[in-house]
Amino acid sequence: MACALALGSSSEFEYWLSMYARSLAICGYESLLRTLVDMLIGRIDKTRMDDDQSSGNLCWWISDAARILSFDRRKLITSIIIPEMSKNRALQRITNEIAVEIEALR
């Protein structure tokens, strides 16, 4: 995803974001999916992430802009991440939680 951003390729970014979300959802990694959503909506401060040794600088490539390439951040969550999460029944609770949060942000 970082390379797609560096190259300015929105189609590649969308593809790799969906692949990443799919692999996290298949494995049932709730905490990583939550972190991904929080990064996309800007809840995770980059300076806080830089100070946190356990994070490994997870979001050095995400800017503070309202959009990522040509995508609205919330639309990425509703069109890519939530559908992938909904394929795993074990993630139903967190999927509903995130959907409600995104709806409240509109």
Task: Give residue 66's pLDDT.
Answer: 77
State which of 5-14, 21-30, 44-53, 63-72 shows the largest mean pLDDT.
21-30
Measured between alpha carbons, how far is 101 from 21 in angstroms, rounded to an integer? Answer: 18
Token pair for residue 80?
């890519």
pLDDT digits over 48-94, tens only? 545 554 544 555 566 777 788 889 989 999 999 999 999 999 999 99
| Residue tagged 């909904």 (tokens) | 86
Are the CB atoms for 87 and 25 separated by under 8 Å?
yes
Residues in the chain: 106
Task: Give residue 53's pLDDT.
Answer: 46
Task: Give residue 59's pLDDT.
Answer: 59
In this prediction the pTM is 0.81
Measured between alpha carbons, how far is 33 from 8 in angstroms, rounded to an integer? Answer: 24
